Structure 1
Amino acid sequence: MVTNTSDRDGSRPGGATPGTEFDVIIVGAGFAGLYMLHRARELGLSARVFEAGGGVGGTWYWNRYPGARCDVESLQYSYQFSDELQQEWHWTERYASQPEILRYLEHVADRFALRPDIQLDTRVEAAIFDEASGRWRVETSADTVTARFVVMATGCLSSANIPEIEGRDEFAGATYHTGRWPHEGVDFTGQRVGVIGTGSSGIQCIPIIAEQAEHLYVFQRTPSFSVPARNAPLDPAVEREIKATYHEFREAAAQTPFGIAAPISDKAAMVVSPEERERTYEEYWQTGGLGFMVAFADLLFSREANETAAEFMRRKIRATVTDPAVADALCPDTVVGCKRLCLDTAYFETFNRANVTLVDLNQAPIERITADGIRADGEEYRLDSVVFATGFDAMTGALERIDIRGVGGRALRDKWAEGPRTYLGLATAGFPNLFTITGPGSPSVLSNMVPSIEQHVNWIADCVAYMRDHGMERIEPTVEAEEAWGQRVNQIANMTLYTSCNSWYLGANIPGKPRVFMPYIGFPEYVATCRDVAANDYQGFTLARSQT
């Protein structure tokens, strides 16, 4: 393998030290890319991170919309690879805001001196495997480099989805996407604003935009279930208690289905009395957070049980929103959890404001965007700004936008034309030495992302070390292992209610995208499987020795 001979104290445009040949190229400088670089350095590997943005942070660099914050509690949505780091960093809120998470990641980059090997403002355009040399040629907007390994740390929610609405480019006002928010911020004071989309980002930004705008029009296609976040300043006593036994706290969280510490019930919703069921839901509602989904053990397996949770939440909406017609339009008729459960702060209360109008696109579909605003069902809504809170081409979008070509020149986007195929969500047959962190087929978005990222990075680093120690130069999954894994992912998904509605878990938010359930359900079982694969000399992979 190549050894790093570059001067780490040198500099070049984009911030990285010079060099064209590396052991590892890492694409993306968010949680995944930063930790992957740290582990590569620990192994003594030469590495370069390419990042399209002007700073580190990944999704937290780009997503700066009003109200942006994580829906996993801050003491859990953080690295655990360094006890010193997790002990010294103090979060200020139960749920960290985007600026605080970005400051945290900038601190990590500085604390571990990662910046010399990160090249900013550089977009990876292509990665092409050269079979003769066994190396990847990575073409960027700045230069071309080669590496033995390529690690895609591009994130699951990084490829912004802007819907193709007729007339979109004719609008004379300003347009924004929540995932590509201007870094200087936006002041909507005195404006007529339209927000399209009521998923997680819409639910977070709508209450804040409503406080600024002269009038806010919310264009809703599908209403979302949302639980109060109950966000508050982080109690120092709680912080001390968790940090006193942080390792045990993390270990316990890793044994839960989603890798998130929460009080999980082993009771079935339909076994307890209606009074106990109502009391339990109310307790979880008052606590706030995603733990609501584990109030009963069968909520994601039994439609009857799930409907009791759904009806409880609909009653909460109707008790909050004063206009009965608006309340009804805000009540989802889907299964709770089949679309991502949202957390909010005064979202439903926002629709009681005189300057907020809900436009139900099921009753009044958007016909087109005009120079002056949005026309829906014959009515013109005159707007100064339009906000697309329309989410992302999740899990595969960022990968497929890069021209990735493996053995025989086959493009990854062609291989995945009928849906992504991977082994463990970590690699795909025909693309040797290419790893995907939290790729499709791994728990990823159905887990606490940071522990999932760390688990993947550690697995990849251990795999590369194993290859070095055993004289191996090339690794890729077998087609058989890949097919069997895809079947397993879908068999588990089909045992649940996740597949019961169209969601971005299935790619349903992107026109023409194949409907394939992408995340693996069950963090502990997944981790155990990855461990067993490695322990059995990387069962399901083909490894080739060096020819020298």
Structure 2
Amino acid sequence: MTASVQAGETLDALIIGAGFTGLYQLWSLRKLGLKVQVLETAPDVGGTWYWNCYPGARTDSPSNIYQYWFSDDLLDEWNWNERYAGRAESHAYFRHVADRFELRKDIRFNTRVDAAHWDEATSRWNLRTQDGTTLSARFLITALGPLSAPLVPPFKGHETFKGQLVHTARWPREGIDLKGKRVGVIGTGATGIQVIQSIAAEVSHLTVFQRTANYAVPMHNKRYTDADRAAIRARYPETREAIWTTFVGFDEPSVPHAYFDLPPAERRATLEKLWADGSLKIWVAGFMEIFFDLAASQEISEFVREKIRARIHDSKVAAKLVPQDHGFGTRRVPLENGYFEIYNRDNVSLVDLHEAPIECFTPKGIRTSAGEIELDVIILATGFDAGTGGLTAIDIRGRDGVSLRQQWKSDVRTTMGLQIHGYPNLFTTSAPYAPAAAFCNAPTCLQHQVQWITDCIAYLGKHGRTVIEPSADTESAWLAHHDELAGATLVAKTRSWYTGGNIEGKPNRLLSYIGGVPAYREACEKVKEKDYEGFELA
């Protein structure tokens, strides 16, 4: 069932996006008795797990924490098949949630929002969709995800390429037959790694174009038995509590010792144990010094480099694949499954773009400074305009017609990643300066943001208020706090999508709050406890 939207229809709330956040936000606001509608570009629910159907797409958060916690019945009835769910299983989960809670009747699919303008006279948001439909709502909630705006670099001559050109985030639903073809993959971030390790064995030749060498940790996946699922389910109450107390919203606490408080042998033993877990534990629940202590970062980074070198036969290739320009954990760390061994294959070539930069696309393939490489398929694993791209793709205008897109060109500002001064009744999720933008198990922080937004809207209704936005001073104070924490880290000094460094001209600032999930939740709860002090209500 798909929602029926009438031109000019007025609503209590509009939600943009039917992924993890949008579905829960819809459920939550319906529980308040509000008239709510979700607008979704795709023809189905799932967000990133609808779009990311490229080969090898898989979550690297364990399935026991990559899920909703609002329904015990849902927890009891859904059975995860693997420790790390593949794309198909994740998508099936969201389809199940949408059907079980009858959410589809309030979702309009195949609907792209072009514009959202605040109307000062009516204190409402007026939206226009690509098909010309107009809607009005008191509250606008964006549930777009931090990685929803694919980045396609302006490669010269790309339109002349006669083969197939595809971005991983827009992979054809019917798939692509790569068997026996010459394939090029541009990008070796998390997505590129998943694609490369998944297709190398079936293509005739694979050429990997690498700009930045990346660390990656071996994924130890497993199929769950009924006994595994029973054990996981028995721990759900404990897990539900644990995710709120850890630094990045996983269910594992960080190492309880400072790195240099341990003798070298114990440091090494601890790293070996973390590495052997086959998870992101060595990054998100290891020694926190990787984020701010250069000496510790150098030692831990060299430990990981040793692990990578040992898996690559050709020392010259290993030298290109082993990161030297940044410390472990200061950029996004993905899990991998045999990725580094791929470069031991005879049908795989690595192009270091620092040595041989791409000059242009040609009808037959890609020309680098070292010559032309003929290809049948080019896959762009070139990432996203993270944190901001989904919002700036929409013409959002607040008080006095001020454009968010134009404003953010010079200075990206939010208050706790939840609201923006000058844009009343606009609530954002996965936005800059909240942990959900990057430094959190997404479901943990997104569910917290949905709960905060829902409580805020309920508070307004209970107290006869209709409008809320943060004051300029409150926003500035949050940004100052954010910048102070970020400035003490190695992450903020490393060029990556975390800082907007992958987008030419984008303001350089760490996009995600790095103070940790407990500190962020405490700050948000204080706002509620003090009746939204620092916010302007009317």
Query: Does TM, scored on the shorter chain, surpass 0.5?
Result: yes
Q: Does 1:189 align with 2:183?
A: no
| Residue of structure 2 equivalent to 1:344 | 336
Do structure 1's residue 516 and structure 2's residue 473 form an aligned pair?
no
SS in 1 for 2:91: helix
Match of 1:105? Answer: 94
Q: Secondary structure at the match of 1:279?
A: helix
- Measure the CA separation in 1 of the matches of 2:159 and 2:507: 27
Q: Is the 2:146–2:430 contact (alpha carbons within 8 Å) kept by the matching residues of 1?
A: yes
- Aligned pairs (5 A) from 1:66-105: 66-105=55-94
Which residue of 214, 222, 225 maps to 1:224? 214
Q: How far off its partner does 1:245 sit?
A: 3.2
Q: Name the residue aligned to 1:167.
A: 157
The corresponding residue for 1:278 is 268
CA distance in 2, matches of 1:365, 1:184: 32
Contact residue 144 and residue 430 of structure 2 kept, 8 A: no
Following superposition, the deviation at residue 518 of structure 1 comes to 1.1
Paired residues for 1:247-258 under 5 Å: 247-258=237-248
How many Å apart are 1:39 and its aligned residue?
A: 0.7
Aligned to 1:483: 476
Cα contact 1:224–1:332 (8 A) shared by 2: yes
Q: Distance in 1 between the 2:455 and 2:376 partners?
A: 53
Question: Which stretch of the first structure deviates more once superposed, 435-444 or 110-119?
Answer: 435-444
Query: Is contact 2:397–2:404 with CA below 8 Å preserved after alignment?
Result: yes
Aligned residue for 2:282?
Answer: 292
Aligned with 1:375 (options 367, 378, 386): 367
Q: Contact 1:419/1:516 (CA < 8 Å) preserved in 2?
A: no
CA distance in 2, matches of 1:529, 1:323: 50
1:378 Cα deviation (Å)?
3.0
Q: Deviations over 1:194-232 (max 9, x none)?
A: 000000000111011101110000000001100011111
Work out whether 1:421 is the aligned partner of 2:410. Answer: no
Partner of 1:299: helix, strand, or coil?
Answer: helix
What's the offset of the Cα at 1:70? 0.7
Asked if 1 retains the 8 angstrom alpha-carbon contact of 2:247 and 2:254, the reply is: no
Q: Which residue of 434, 441, 453 maps to 2:433?
A: 441
SS of the counterpart of 1:473?
A: coil
Matching residue of 2:231: 241
2:297 to 302, 306, 321: 306
Q: Aligned AA for 2:296?
A: A
Does the alignment pair 1:543 with 2:537? yes
SS at match of 1:298: helix
Give how far 1:299 is off.
2.1
What is the aligned partner in structure 2 of residue 6 from structure 1?
none
* Uncovered stretches (5+) of structure 1, i.e. residues with no partner: 1-10
Match runs of 1:82-161 below 5 Å: 82-142=71-131, 143-161=133-151
Q: 1:16 and 1:198 mapped to 2: Cα distance?
A: 42
Which residue of the partner structure matches residue 4 of structure 2? 16
Q: Deviations over 1:46-68 (max 9, x none)?
A: 01100001111111110111000
1:285 deviates by 1.3
Structure-1 separation of matches of 2:272 and 2:187: 28
Q: Helix, strand or coil: the match of 2:200?
A: helix
Equivalent in 463, 472, 475 of residue 456 of structure 2 = 463
Which residue number corresponds to residue 534 of structure 1?
A: 528
* Structure 1 residue aligned with 2:46: 57
Task: Give the stretch that moved more between structures: 298-307 or 206-215.
Answer: 298-307
CA contact (8 A) 1:93 1:231 kept: yes
Q: Secondary structure at the match of 2:291?
A: coil
- Distance apart, 1:247 and its partner CA: 2.0
Q: CA deviation at 1:17?
A: 5.5
Alignment-derived partner of residue 46 in structure 1 = 35
In structure 2, what residue type is equivalent to 1:36? Q
Q: Which residue does 2:444 correspond to in 1?
A: 451
In the aligned structure 2, how far is the partner of 1:336 from the partner of 1:16? Answer: 49
Match of 1:408 in 2: 400
Distance apart, 1:495 and its partner CA: 1.8
Tell me the CA shift for residue 295 of structure 1.
2.5
Secondary structure (helix, strand or coil) at the match of 2:261 reads coil
Q: Is the 8 A contact 2:414 2:475 kept in 1?
A: yes
Deviation at 1:15, TM superposition (A): 4.0
| 2:519 aligned with 1:525 | yes
Q: After superposition, what is the alpha-carbon deviation per residue over 1:85-106, rounded to whole angstroms, capped at 9, x for unaligned?
A: 1121111111111111100000
Q: Which residue of 2 aligns with 1:179?
A: 169
Contact 2:397 2:403 in 1 (8 A): yes
Partner SS for 2:396: strand
For residues 513-537 of structure 1, the C-alpha deviation after alignment (integer angstroms, 9 at most, x for no partner) is: 1111111111111011101101101
The DSSP-based 3-state class of the residue aligned with 1:149 is strand
Contact 1:267 1:297 (C-alpha < 8 Å) held by counterparts: no
Aligned 8 A contact 2:312 2:340 in 1:
yes
Give the counterpart letter for 1:100 in structure 2: E
Counterpart for residue 269 of structure 1: 259
Deviation at 1:499, TM superposition (A): 1.0
TM-superposed deviation, 1:238: 3.6
Post-superposition offset of 1:297: 3.6
TM-score relative to the length of structure 2: 0.97
Question: Contact 1:207/1:347 (CA < 8 Å) preserved in 2?
Answer: yes
Amino acid at match of 2:12: D
- Residue 28 of structure 1 contacts residue 51 of structure 1 at CA under 8 Å; is this kept in 2? yes
Identity %: 46
Question: Structure 1, residues 407-448: CA drift from partner, whole Å, max 9, x if none?
Answer: 000001122122320111100011000000121111012101
- Coordinate RMSD, CA, aligned: 1.2
- Deviation for aligned residue 1:270: 2.6
CA 1:17–1:130: 2 relative to 1, 3 Å: closer
The Cα offsets for residues 89-130 of structure 1, whole Å up to 9 and x where unpaired, read as 111111111111100000000000000110000000000011
SS of structure 1 residue aligned to 2:14: strand
Q: Secondary structure at the match of 2:355?
A: coil
User: 2:531 is matched by which residue type in structure 1?
Assistant: D
C-alpha distance in structure 2 between counterparts of 1:263 and 1:424, whole Å: 24
Report what 1:4 is aligned to. none
Identify which of 364, 374, 384 aligns with 2:356: 364
Distance 1:236 1:197 in 2: 38
Counterpart contact for 2:182–2:206, Cα < 8 Å: yes
